[in-house]
Amino acid sequence: MALEKSLTANSAVNPARAILEPIIKQLNNKETTGDLQKSILALQNLANNGNTEAMLWLGRIYRDILDSSDRDTKKAFSYFKQAGGVEGKNKEAQYELGRAYFHGEGTDLNLISAFLWTSLSLQKSTPVQEKAQEQVEHLKSMLTAEQLKHAYQLVDNISNLYLNP
């Protein structure tokens, strides 16, 4: 309900929201009976214009929603990287990057990178915050004290130098 109110309030202010709102609602409800290719094209148009939320949802589509033969975790990772990295700074996409590194989805498995991106995603409240916190706690139990020290330094450096200058 909060997501729907947020979407409706934002769509009046931002024309991209009017395009995103029905697509996100459809995907959140796991309704893929609509024209998914049409939704992908609309999201790609928004993503090409720098919309990080469209990039985030394209990543999720390519990782989770398409039929298994059409899924492309490398393409999903690329969208998450665009949306969550220095240019996009989308906190949900940063969580998805952390998840990708944690599971080796579309990239190499890298627990320090997983910790880095998941921790960065926690700097602002998001709908995936609980999952992100669980993932960070799980990663803490998997990393050595030295790895954790290095990972925390990376989080601080990336945050201070690139994401929050």
Domain residue spans in the chain? 2-163
Look at the domain 2-163 and name its fold. Answer: 1.25.40
The whole-angstrom separation of Cα 44 and Cα 39 is 8
Global pTM value: 0.86
- Tell me the pLDDT of the chain (165 aa) as tens digits: 344 444 444 445 678 889 999 888 888 877 665 688 899 999 999 999 999 999 999 999 999 999 889 999 999 999 999 999 877 799 999 999 999 999 999 999 999 999 999 999 999 999 999 999 999 999 999 999 999 999 999 999 999 988 776
DSSP character string of 38-74: HHHHHHHHHHHTT-HHHHHHHHHIIIIIS-TTT--HH
Query: What would the two tokens of residue 159 be?
Result: 């945050």
For residue 123, the one-letter residue type is Q
pLDDT at residue number 14: 78
